[in-house]
Amino acid sequence: MPFIKDNFYIDEPIPAFIMLMQRYGISQPEAQRIIDRGRILVEGQTLADKAVEISGNTEVIIFKPVSKGNLPIFKTKDFIVFDKPSGILVHPKTKATPYSMLDEVRSFGGKDANAAHRIDMETSGLLIASLHKEAEKFLKGAFEKKDIQKSYRAWVRGKVDKPFSVNKPIIVNQDYSRIKHKVFISDNGKEAFTEFIPIVYNEKYDATLLECIPHTGRTHQIRIHLFHVKHPILGDPLYGVNYETAEKYLEKRLSNEERKFTTGATRLMLHAYSLDFEMNENRYYIVSQNRFIDLSKSVALGNDREKNIDDGWKHY
């Protein structure tokens, strides 16, 4: 478990945040976050006052990384890069999350290392983490300003034989009673622009591998844009399926077999492929070592799936 309970006794009264800084070698803001999140108890009571002096029986719930051997593929003095497998969270959702990429980030990068951006749990591919606070500030700012160019790979339904682009605004869904999509294409939404370039067509699975280049960073941008042009990503349990299937997925009732038959794959076939940016007068172009080309283990044959495809094109 990445979160452990550290139990100890404090003899002499000491401000809580100072105790945390000294015991765990962390900064004052980090110590205050631990207190704010209710992760320190004194004599069985959750501490609420950041500056109060504490003594006696103390329990701190602290993150302790445990690596599962997902080794970094590239490292500098400022950042570290991983090829994240599908199905793994970047950050733990709760204290009960058994494992996330933060375990690997901290195991290989140290206590100040932190993921500089987010990737959806089911999306595989490149994850970059800063190794110190200055690098974290730079990288997060670079992602926000789009100074880091990203490309993805996606296996999609059907044959795509020429490049195309989608320039359609996206808005967050506020009503899940009709459809389970997280976002919609809407004239009232925020600008979203994605380029798509076909790489290879697999006739056996009736699927095309696309290069996807997002020029904006909207939630589920690639997924909703591909759904909009009737080439949804294989394995997508939200965009391209009916309401019941999406609901079963969100409630964790959709089996791998049913998902493979209904969506074409047991996972979302989207992969973060490359990162291109400048930092400290150096230019980096980092490419995933996972070629993301073998469909045999994840994908179902496409001939019998058509009757399961959502007629949700009409939603737009």
Quote the distance between the C-alpha of residue 72 and its chain's center: 17
pLDDT tens, residue by residue, 222-277: 999 999 999 999 999 999 899 999 999 999 999 999 999 999 999 999 999 999 99
Q: Is residue 242 part of a domain?
A: yes
**CATH code, 26:** 3.10.290.10
Q: Rounded to whole angstroms, how far apart are CA atoms 135 and 109?
A: 12
For residue 229, the tally of other CB atoms under 10 A from its CB is 16
Please say which residue of 121, 144, 167 terminates a domain.
144
* Structure letter (DSSP) for residue 314: G
pLDDT per residue as tens digits for the range 9-58: 999 999 999 999 999 888 888 888 899 988 999 999 998 777 789 999 99
With a cut of 50, say whether residue 208 has pLDDT above it. yes
Q: Are residue 50 and residue 80 in the same domain, yes or no?
A: no
162 is a domain residue: yes
Asked if 98 and 1 count as a contact pair (C-beta separation under 8 A), the reply is yes
Cα 116 to Cα 79, 141, 218: the distances in Å are: 9, 9, 17
53 pairs with which residues across the strands?
Answer: 15
Q: What are the tens digits of pLDDT across the range 141-195?
A: 999 999 999 999 999 999 999 999 999 999 999 888 888 899 999 999 999 999 9
Does any domain span residue 295? yes
pLDDT digits (tens, 9 = 90+) for 68-89: 999 999 999 999 999 999 999 9
pLDDT of residue 316: 24
pLDDT band at residue 291 using 50, 70 and 90 as cut-offs: confident
Q: What's the CATH code of the domain at 201?
A: 3.30.2350.10
Look at residue 68 and tell me if it is in a domain: no
The pLDDT score that the predictor gives to residue 302 is 47
Tell me how far CA of residue 8 lies from CA of 20, 89, 218, in angstroms: 12, 31, 45
Q: Is 236 a catalytic residue?
A: no
Residues 195 and 250 in one domain: yes
Tell me, yes or no, whether 26 and 46 share the same domain: yes
What does the pLDDT read at residue 49? 78
Confidence of residue 2 (pLDDT cuts 50, 70, 90): confident
- The answer to the question of residue 92 being in a domain is yes
pLDDT at 150 (0 to 100): 97
Same domain for 156 and 130, yes or no, is: no
Structure-token pair, residue 233: 């990503």
Range(s) of the domain holding residue 274: 149-315
Are 234 and 130 found together in one domain?
A: no
Query: Mean pLDDT for the chain?
Result: 89
In-domain check, residue 19: yes
From 78, 112, 120, 206, active-site residue: 120
Question: Are both 153 and 140 inside the same structural domain?
Answer: no
On the question of pLDDT at 314 being above 80, the answer is no
pTM of the model: 0.84
> What single-letter DSSP state applies at residue 43?
T
Percent of the chain with pLDDT over 90: 74
Q: Which of 107, 124, 144 is the last residue of a domain?
A: 144
**288 and 180 part of one domain:** yes
Specify the CATH number for the domain of residue 94.
3.30.70.580
Q: Are residues 79 and 213 in the same domain?
A: no
Tell me: do 166 and 309 sit in the same domain.
Answer: yes
Is 69 a domain residue?
no
Domains in the chain: how many in total? 3
